[in-house]
Structure 1
């Protein structure tokens, strides 16, 4: 890995919310003959932008209802406000938007078919499988499984022990923001003179008062990402 590539990847992991670093890296990849990897980043970044939540229609938008009088009786309606016009223009382009998103999904799927060639060799070996959606995980579940978003591994699902074993290497190499644990860390009561004075979490360093959730404990001990624990917690 060159010094330039290392710097680009470091910027991505340092600011995972920013697309500018990802797009700069895609340009660098394309210039260095790694076009499939570059295109995958561009496709996923564009799709993430286009799939942001759809805005309300004007008759549901609180500001429009207040400005136009729709929140009152119909005969008091004062006409469309500027925001009404903006929302109407936005929604008139939704069909074109849906067509573009469909094309991006199809291209994303086509590029994903060769992910073992252009991605897996470049990420930590502990990540044994990468998917486009959690529902696509294939058995057996071995090691860490990554979920791809905006061109990189954004989510990880694995056992608690596997996450602690590989966490530092993975977050240094990929902009991971969410982790789904499939096994439970043990929550241990801490006693003094026979009374429970607090709680600790397996392999943790802190003492927690009553009322702390297991998720909050995990996020305190191993910060930097959001965690999802098994539903039985």
Structure 2
């Protein structure tokens, strides 16, 4: 007869198997551990929504509700081992699908505690808070092969660190690489794009690197990142020229998720996107904090190439009634599951119509911050 240790052994050995976690939740409920079972189920749903639509749905009604209930259970059971967010000294864990799965710590602590972590949690990712100059100690450790997520945000790595990653023999599992605010520029992008060691990478995060259009040509045009599906470029300086390069590139034809927030774009850039047949795989598009105005969004609403789009972020884009009317009256409105907007430039009557149409799929983050 299967017991708890059997489930743990299987979950540790197969961290990507969601069915195992849900089966364990059923077992917990059968053994009168309902709160832990509920936590796993609710957190599985929360994680699935964030994985599908990324950070953009954090302010959605459903995700906020799930986070509230999950946090309530963690507080109620703060003394229980399953609710402890610190799996080892000096390490903070992040819950994903009901279990601590990602950790935050410096490189030396991570390497020291790695054997214990592997025995305790279904480890798949790490956010490093220090260790520049020593990345080879991690990337040439065979346990690096278990990581699907590597976050180096805010670490200004050097050439040797990048070489250590790209030369690692253990990159087969890596799916997400976060290089936000790391000083990544053209040399590093060219190295990443032209190296076939990251061919299986699915998500590249390059936010807040002051990237310009001419830094971006190799990544957009000659990239070996054949598996890349998600590209996050928020807070750079791509401008319209950067979007023009991307819109006509082979890379664009592979992307399902694209973040162009805060890049100094105008309506012309969005028109180029809307006219490009290469955007036909896009499911998630962030255009927040760009002065796009109505013209660009009307072009997007009328684009024949967005049959797969399910999430659109128009926060702080200076759009008004004309743009939102165009969306409501287009086939796009029937396909979108989530629409994120700022309501400052939109009439109250139209906001009400949008709420009636999208229901909980309408995300207005500023409504939560006031």
Aligned counterpart, 1:113: 75
Kindly report the root-mean-square deviation, in angstroms, between the aligned alpha carbons of the 2 structures: 3.9
What displacement does 1:34 show? 2.2
Output the CA distance in 2 between the equivalents of 1:114 and 1:159.
30
What displacement does 1:20 show? 0.8
What displacement does 1:201 show? 3.0
Given that 2:86 and 2:92 are in contact with CA atoms closer than 8 Å, whether structure 1 keeps it comes out as no
What displacement does 1:216 show? 1.2
What displacement does 1:100 show? 4.1
Counterpart secondary structure, 1:33: coil
Aligned counterpart, 1:173: 120
Larger mean Cα displacement after TM superposition, 223-232 or 13-22: 223-232
Output the CA distance in 1 between the equivalents of 2:127 and 2:82.
20
For structure 1, the 5+ residue unaligned runs are: 55-97, 129-142, 188-199
Going by fraction, where is strand more abundant, 1 or 2?
1
Q: Does 1:216 align with 2:128?
A: no
Aligned counterpart, 2:206: none
Closer/same/farther in 2, CA of residues 13 and 112 from structure 1, 3 Å limit = same
Counterpart secondary structure, 1:183: coil
Number of residues of Structure 1 aligned to a counterpart in Structure 2: 160
Output the CA distance in 1 between the equivalents of 2:62 and 2:35.
19
1:32-75 Cα offsets, whole Å, 9 max, x none, are 23222111001111223344239xxxxxxxxxxxxxxxxxxxxx
Closer/same/farther in 2, CA of residues 164 and 31 from structure 1, 3 Å limit = same
For structure 2, the 5+ residue unaligned runs are: 55-59, 142-158, 185-370
Aligned counterpart, 1:182: 129
What displacement does 1:115 show? 4.3
What displacement does 1:219 show? 5.8
Query: TM-score, length-normalised on structure 1?
Result: 0.54
Higher RCO, 1 vs 2 (CA within 8 Å, ≥6 residues apart): 1
Aligned counterpart, 2:43: 44
Counterpart secondary structure, 1:213: helix
1:172-203 Cα offsets, whole Å, 9 max, x none, are 2211211011111535xxxxxxxxxxxx9348
Given that 1:145 and 1:157 are in contact with CA atoms closer than 8 Å, whether structure 2 keeps it comes out as yes
Aligned counterpart, 2:105: 158
Closer/same/farther in 2, CA of residues 114 and 5 from structure 1, 3 Å limit = same
What displacement does 1:123 show? 8.5
Aligned counterpart, 2:182: 231
Given that 2:139 and 2:168 are in contact with CA atoms closer than 8 Å, whether structure 1 keeps it comes out as no
Output the CA distance in 2 between the equivalents of 1:7 and 1:123.
23
Output the CA distance in 1 between the equivalents of 2:104 and 2:26.
30
1:122-156 Cα offsets, whole Å, 9 max, x none, are 78851x5xxxxxxxxxxxxxx11001111001210
What displacement does 1:212 show? 7.0
Given that 1:41 and 1:150 are in contact with CA atoms closer than 8 Å, whether structure 2 keeps it comes out as yes
Closer/same/farther in 2, CA of residues 144 and 211 from structure 1, 3 Å limit = closer
Output the CA distance in 2 between the equivalents of 1:152 and 1:159.
21
Aligned counterpart, 2:25: 26
Q: Which runs of structure 1 show a deviation greater than 4 angstroms over 4 or more consecutive aligned residues? A: 120-125, 202-206, 217-230
Given that 1:26 and 1:37 are in contact with CA atoms closer than 8 Å, whether structure 2 keeps it comes out as yes
Closer/same/farther in 2, CA of residues 186 and 100 from structure 1, 3 Å limit = closer
Closer/same/farther in 2, CA of residues 168 and 220 from structure 1, 3 Å limit = farther
Counterpart secondary structure, 2:53: coil
Query: TM-score, length-normalised on structure 2?
Result: 0.36
Q: From the CA coordinates, give the structure whose radius of gyration is larger.
A: 1
